[in-house]
Amino acid sequence: MKKSLLRVAAPFLLLAAAAHSGVAQIQPELTPAGNRSDDTTRVQLTLPPDSLVAEPTLALDSARLVWLQTPPELRDLVGDRVSCLDTEMPHVFNGTVMSFVNYFTVRNRGYTQRILERQNLYFPLFEKYLAKYQLPQDLKYLAVVESALLPTARSRVGAVGLWQFMGPTGRDMRLVQNEYIDERMNPEKSTEAACRYLRDLYRMFGDWELVLAAYNWGGGNVQRAMKRTGKRTFWDLYPQLPKETRNYVPTFTAAMYTLQYAKEHDLHNDSLHYQYPEATDTLMISGRSLDLRKFSAQFGLDSAAISKYNPEIRKPFLPETVRNYRLTVPACVRTELAVLDRNTVLDFCKVVVPPPRPIVPIAPTLLGTDSTSTAIAAAEKPEAEQPKYRRVRHSVRRGESVADVAERYEVSQAQVLRWNKLRRGKALVAKQQLVLFVPREAAETPAVAVATRKPTVPARLPVAVPPADAEAAVATTRPVPAPEATTEPAAEPARVATASSRSPRVARGTAPPEPKPTVAKTAAPLTHDSLPAEYIVRRGDYLTKLARNAGVSVAQLMAWNNLESEAVVPGQKLLFRAPTEAEAAAVAVKTPANQAATTSRTEMLPAPRVHLVQPGDTLYNISRRYQGVTVEQLRKLNHLKSDEVKPGQKLLVQG
């Protein structure tokens, strides 16, 4: 079969070969110049516009467009100036650099002029630390690219400060970052940290162009790109870098050129407000709070002046937890502090915190038993807040269907199916547990029986006081001139409830005796708004807290209770008023003989002879507490050479 096909196809194959060879032997016609008319070097091929072979027309990028729009004379001038820059930093001139030069000098001249206003304020500081770490002085222009010389600048990714440190990098450079202070915004500390970081990057790469790229992108990223591509220079790695890092080095070169040739581009004028360094001093703040607004007002400064000198402070105050913080202040503050007392000024400028609200007492409950307060609250709950349905569990009997269960509990079959996630038409199984919700009106509720008793509950729960203390509190209250106000029927339930909460024996009795007219007035000091005249120290109490809640001073509590220190123990009885004759005599029996004269006084005790220094006390504050006592007298009585006092120190306040 194959041989027959070959015989048939052979003549056709021979004819095709002969025709092809004849075409190849035809000579092309020659032109009068002796050239062939079909020479491909002179013939231009025209392809249709939609041809895939045709090269598409690419749109020019912005840098190339700026390069083409810039006059050639200006391009040559800028290129000559850039090539003549005497610096160790990169200064390659190309279209990208020219586009940023045009941005700084033509398109956004106001932005460059604001940088020129702050240039004289920060460049001397940069040059100081660059010389300390033996780095090129032109690295100061890096802060222009990063933050435009704004110490409080913050990028969208979280970089902060003049040198735009990220949080982890700032902590690696030992810059403090907490709720109150962020040293990335401190010009001096962040500049020194940036110099150390740039020095480490140069030791890593040995090329300033790569150092700038690593400062923007990260040293690890640049190292991985070099390892992946095998390239060792910035311009070789240029296609592998992110867009922001590509423009970083050209922007640096353009900023360096613009600030050095600002006069040639007429960027300076008389309307600019140039800033220069001012004479400043430091004030050590440690262990005390400081309200910066009060401090500024004390010395006649603007409210934002201290924040201007200390941009790293994130709030308008410093807390007591700050240790050894150097607050930068203008030099005028130093002269005024030399005249005034430093501790007095700082005490006046400390943060004033409002006292905490008293703790509302909670009704006692017994674990494992039903709480009476819970039952009372449930009884007094309005009817609208009571649940309308109660949950019932039903055990299916043999032969029982969904319809039977729904009819028994007076609900619909759809509700039974939905509550138990049952499929319609599926038979129930014996002993299957079903959940149903029955209206509460048809259910038996034990709460009804409780609600019928309607016990009386006082509007405010009194502070639990032992019976002896309650009697003492009653005895110390002043008599009421209008006894008929205490005999009204409306006050009867409140007195009974208060007496029952104080004494269990009265609650169990059948009828408590009629209280005296002064009893109704004793309930006022026992509320949560104030403390009783006598108080039993509880666990967790301390003298400063009790004095603050009672509205008295710690010194008064120590004098009234004859205390030598602020230590109190649970179960100790304290007086919150001047002791009476009987109480003073009782205290005199318990105290040593050398203190009997002090505890036997019947009237308001005068200022004690010894003052125990509290945290935040100064000689000025102590002298204000005692009438007729001055700071000079305190120094002489206690043989003090300075105004410094420490917490826990005992001072004589009377000779």
pLDDT in tens, 616-645: 788 877 877 776 788 888 888 888 888 888
Least confident piece of the model among 87-101, 189-203, 440-454, 557-571? 440-454
Flag whether 446 is in a domain. Answer: no
Q: Are residues 165 and 235 in the same domain?
A: yes
CB 651 within 8 A of CB 622: yes
Residue type, 348: F
Total domains, the chain? 5
Per DSSP, 357 falls in state P
**Shared domain check, 237 and 95:** yes
Look up tokens 């070099």; give the residue: 226
Render pLDDT for 103-152 as a digit per residue (tens, 0 to 9). 999 999 999 999 999 999 999 999 999 999 999 999 999 999 999 999 99
The CATH number covering residue 538 comes to 3.10.350.10
Which of 407, 380, 379, 375 is CA-nearest to residue 394?
407
For residue 28, is it left (φ>0), alpha (ψ between -120 and 50) or beta?
beta
Structural domain boundaries enclosing 290 = 280-349
Q: What is the pLDDT of residues 28-66, one digit of tens each?
A: 444 444 444 444 333 333 333 333 233 333 334 566 676
Instruction: At 12, list the tokens.
Output: 């056709």
Q: Are residues 145 and 174 in the same domain?
A: yes
- Check whether residue 222 and residue 337 sit in a common domain: no
Same domain, 76 and 177: yes
Sign of CA dihedral 471, 476, 479, 485: negative
508 inside domain: no
314 in the same domain as 251: no
CATH number where 140 lies: 1.10.530.10
- Tell me how far apart the alpha carbons of residues 259 and 239 are, in angstroms, rounded to a whole number: 29
Note the pLDDT of residue 600: 40
Tell me, yes or no, whether 122 lies in a domain.
yes
User: Is the pLDDT assigned to residue 408 strictly greater than 60?
Assistant: yes
Residue 463 lies in a domain: no
Is pLDDT of 206 > 60?
A: yes
Residues 234 and 315 in one domain: no
Mean pLDDT of 261-271: 93
Domain identity same for 292 and 257: no
Pick the last residue of a domain from 296, 329, 349. Answer: 349
- Residue 81 within a domain: yes
The answer to the question of residue 87 being in a domain is yes
CA gap 459, 120 in Å, rounded: 70
End-to-end CA distance of the chain: give it in Å, rounded: 142
Question: Which conformational region is residue 161 in: left (phi greater than 0), alpha (psi within -120 to 50 degrees), or beta?
Answer: left
The highest-confidence range among 1-15, 34-48, 401-415, 564-578, by mean pLDDT, is 401-415
CB neighbourhood size of 464 (10 A): 15
Compute the distance between CA of residue 359 and CA of residue 530 in angstroms, rounded to an integer: 10
**Residue appearing with tokens 């240039």:** 119
pLDDT at 37: 40
Note whether residue 46 is domain-resident: no
Compute CA distances 92 → 55, 196, 198, 225, 257, whole Å: 31, 26, 21, 22, 11
**Are residue 185 and residue 321 in the same domain, yes or no?**
no
Among residues 410, 436, 462, the one where a domain terminates is 436
CA atoms of 595 and 573, how far apart (whole Å): 18
**198 and 109 both lie in a single domain:** yes
Residue 285 placed within a domain: yes
Segment 409-457, tens digit of pLDDT: 888 888 899 999 898 888 888 889 999 988 775 444 444 333 334 444 3
> Average pLDDT of the chain?
74
Residues 292 and 256 occupy one common structural domain: no
Helix, strand, coil % in the chain, rounded to nearest 5? 50, 10, 45
Instruction: Give yes or no: residues 253 and 297 share one domain.
Output: no
HSE-CB at 204 with a 13 A cutoff on CA atoms is 20
Please name the helix (run of DSSP H) or strand (run of DSSP E) that holds residue 317, with its range, or none.
strand 317-318
**Which residue in 252, 192, 608 sits closest to 599, CA to CA?**
608
C-alpha count within 13 angstroms, C-beta hemisphere, residue 211: 23
Render pLDDT for 473-523 as a digit per residue (tens, 0 to 9): 444 444 444 444 333 444 343 343 333 344 444 434 444 444 444 333 333
